Amino acid sequence: MLSVQDIHSYYGDSHVLHGVSLTVAKGELVAILGRNGMGKTTLIRALIGFTPPREGRVVFKDRDVTSLPPFRAVEMGMGLVPQGRRIFPSLSVLENLKVAGNAKARWNLDRVFSLFPRLAARKAHAGDNLSGGEQQMLAIGRALMTNPDLLLLDEPTEGLAPMVVREVAKTLEGLRREGLSILLVEQSVPFATRIADRVHVLSRGRIVHSCSAAELLANEEVKSRHLGLGS
Amino acid sequence: MNLAHGSYFLLGGYVGLTTAARTKSFALALLSGSLAVALIGLGMERFFLRRLTRQSLPQVLLTMGFALVFQDLALLVWGGDPYNIAVPAFLAQSVQAGPVFVNFYRLFIIGVAFAVGVVLWLFLERTRAGASIRATVDDAEMAQGVGINVPLLSAGVFALGAFLAALGGVVGAGFIGVYPGLDFEVLPYAFVVVIIGGLGSFHGVVVGSLVVGLLDNFGKALFPELSYFTLFAPMALILALKPTGLFGKR
Ligand SMILES: Nc1ncnc2c1ncn2[C@@H]1O[C@H](COP(=O)(O)OP(=O)(O)OP(=O)(O)O)[C@@H](O)[C@H]1O
Ligand SMILES: [Mg+2]
């Protein structure tokens, strides 16, 4: 589905990603874990094309998408749930979903609303007039409206209450059962290890550890050194 | 930021003028003037301005260059004399209503402005394309991130802007005429409207243009010696109190 090959990303002269490689197979849920400022968002930005990597390749569905404009990557089936949700504030909930929809609708408004009934009740509300949890659901719903085969999620649990976090986890597990591939970026180890098949640990722009979710939970050394957890 | 917007107004007027002279049709003048200039706008966006996204200063310099080129080209083609477009006879009349004379063409201008405003509002607020435009104004990067073809949309909006400026130019050519220097005469009005109303706000443009129109006309009538002052002083005041304009968010 997705193959990232030795990418290097920069902001101006500052070198942020130092040769990151990873793959996501069809139907797989892969998590990238890392603390603040380690380059997680930069990686997502490189994949969708907001900040194309200066070196290396991004191959999606067997096509090189490294320097494709972001809207083309979305057309090809990358769905983005960005950090901070980035709901369009001037648009209503309904419009936020509609602008993302396209003609060949596998996902449509009805399906999104049955997945998130709370959004249906707030259809006419302005996009910025929602609780954090509702905004996160809208951001996920909006990405689904683009009919993705691969969903990119950047810290979807940031700032959410534990109950809402559980709801997001259930939603992602459900989507994954339907065959969607998911690349999740997270700081929360419990959340990521609960739903992911494999995890990569990102530190200062490099992947420093890769293993299964269960193995990470057992690995105190990696957790304390790179994720600031543990004894 | 497009300093060639006044040139669109001017070129629209001139193209309309030529069409009206050839075909004797005011409707064709409106159509040809607006469409020709929309194409010019499309070309400018596609081949020049697209490279300068989010770079205000280069945009200002480039569009200023275009404005000067258009000014000289217009002088070359249409000469230095002022012209008026012949408007249809039924619009050229006036009626007396009590103590005031009502000029039909003025009513026509108000009607066109109103219709353009309503259609634009419906387009922006009620259609999917309009919602995509608002999404792009909110967050252009994220708009691409949900699959909106932002480069195409921007080109379309730019061409629409040129179209409407030129439409104004043709309509205006039946009233104030069209003459060298008109481009840089109308440009400040457009800027003051946007500054007062606030960037990126439709309501702002409506309120801004009413404020500017009233201030300018009453100002010129009541204090003719102050001319531009009655326009720019309130603008400076609004900027001091609310730097984003009345309805602007940024
Ligand atoms: N627009 C930018 N310009 C310059 N440097 C940036 C920019 N965005 C991020 N950086 C720097 O790049 C590094 C990686 O940032 P990034 O946003 O990818 O981290 P992150 O892992 O997503 O962090 P967080 O968990 O806080 O979201 C940081 O050192 C950050 O300061
Ligand atoms: Mg981040």
Residues with CB under 5 A from ligand 2 (ion): A 40-41, 83
Please state the length of chain A: 231
> What phi and psi values does residue A56 have, to the nearest 5 degrees?
90, 175
The pLDDT tens digits for B168-221 are 999 999 989 999 999 999 998 888 888 888 887 888 888 888 988 888 888 888
The pLDDT tens digits for B121-163 are 999 999 999 999 999 999 999 999 999 999 999 999 999 999 9
User: What are the structure tokens assigned to B111, written together?
Assistant: 């009607």
Facing residues of A20 across strands? Answer: A7
| CA proximity to B181, closest of B64, B71, B41 | B71
| CA proximity to B189, closest of B225, B215, B218 | B215
Across the interface, whether the CB atoms of B147 and A102 are under 8 A apart is answered: yes
The pLDDT tens digits for B3-25 are 999 999 999 999 999 999 999 99
Distance in angstroms (rounded) separating the CA atoms of residues A199 and A40: 13
Chain B CB within 8 Å of residue A1 CB: no
Sketch the domain layout of chain B as residue ranges.
Answer: 5-180, 181-250
* pLDDT value for A231: 42
The alpha carbon of residue A91 is apart from the nearest alpha carbon of chain B, in Å, by 7
Chain B CB within 8 Å of residue A90 CB: yes
pLDDT of B118 higher than 50: yes
Within 8 A of B151 by CB-CB distance, chain A residues are 69
Distance in angstroms (rounded) separating the CA atoms of residues A192 and A196: 6
Q: ∠A125-A128-A133 over CA atoms, to 5°? A: 90
Q: Which residues of chain A have pLDDT under 70?
A: 103-105, 229-231
Ramachandran class of A61: left when φ > 0, alpha when ψ lies in -120 to 50, beta otherwise: left
Average pLDDT, stretch B219-244? 83
| Percent share of chain B, pLDDT over 90 | 62
The pLDDT tens digits for B67-106 are 999 999 999 999 999 999 988 888 888 888 888 888 899 9
Question: In the structure, which protein residues have their CB atom closer than 6 angstroms to any atom of ligand 1?
Answer: A 11, 14, 16, 34, 36-42, 83, 187
The alpha carbon of residue A70 is apart from the nearest alpha carbon of chain B, in Å, by 6
Across the interface, whether the CB atoms of A71 and B128 are under 8 A apart is answered: no
Q: State which residues form the domain around A173.
A: 2-227
Of A50, A89, A145, Cβ closest to residue B141: A50
Contact criterion met (CB below 8 Å) for B11 and B19: no
Q: How many CB pairs under 8 A join A and B?
A: 64
Amino acid at the residue A51 = T
| Percent share of chain A, pLDDT over 90 | 83
Across the interface, whether the CB atoms of A71 and B150 are under 8 A apart is answered: yes
Distance in angstroms (rounded) separating the CA atoms of residues B63 and B71: 12
CATH number of the domain that residue A21 is part of? 3.40.50.300
CA of A74 relative to ligand 1 center, distance in Å = 23
Across the interface, whether the CB atoms of B138 and A75 are under 8 A apart is answered: no
Chain B residues with CB within 8 Å of chain A CB: 128, 131-132, 134-135, 137-139, 141-151
How many domains is chain A built from?
Answer: 1
Positive/negative CA dihedral, A75, A106, A136, A125: positive
Across the interface, whether the CB atoms of B135 and A91 are under 8 A apart is answered: yes
| B229 vs A66 pLDDT, higher one | A66
- Pick the atom of ligand 1 nearest to A45's CA: 18
* pLDDT value for A133: 92
CA of A38 relative to ligand 1 center, distance in Å = 7
| CA proximity to A222, closest of A104, A208, A182 | A208
- Output the pTM of the full model: 0.90
* pLDDT value for B103: 87
Mutation test of ligand 1: which of A9, A38, A204 has the most ligand atoms closer than 8 Å to its C-beta? Answer: A38
Average pLDDT along chain B: 91
Helices (H), chain B: 5-23, 26-47, 56-78, 89-92, 104-126, 128-138, 140-145, 150-173, 182-197, 202-222, 229-241
CA of B126 relative to ligand 2 center, distance in Å = 35
The alpha carbon of residue A126 is apart from the nearest alpha carbon of chain B, in Å, by 12
The alpha carbon of residue A2 is apart from the nearest alpha carbon of chain B, in Å, by 17
Contact criterion met (CB below 8 Å) for A102 and A75: yes
Of A75, A90, A95, Cβ closest to residue B147: A75
User: What are the structure tokens assigned to B57, written together?
Assistant: 């200063």
* pLDDT value for B250: 60
Q: ∠B48-B197-B151 over CA atoms, to 5°? A: 25
Contact criterion met (CB below 8 Å) for B16 and B170: yes
| CA proximity to A157, closest of A193, A125, A129 | A193
Within 8 A of A141 by CB-CB distance, chain B residues are none
- Burial class of residue B62, CB neighbours in 10 A (0-12, 13-18, 19+): buried
Across the interface, whether the CB atoms of B128 and A98 are under 8 A apart is answered: yes
* pLDDT value for A224: 80
The pLDDT tens digits for A3-36 are 999 999 999 999 999 999 999 999 999 999 999 9
* pLDDT value for B245: 85
* pLDDT value for B219: 84
Across the interface, whether the CB atoms of B145 and A82 are under 8 A apart is answered: yes
| B36 vs B204 pLDDT, higher one | B36
Mark B17-36 as b/e (b = at least 16 C-beta within 10 Å): bbbbeeeeebeebbebbbbb
Query: 3-class SS at A82?
Result: coil
* pLDDT value for A105: 66
Chain B CB within 8 Å of residue A69 CB: yes
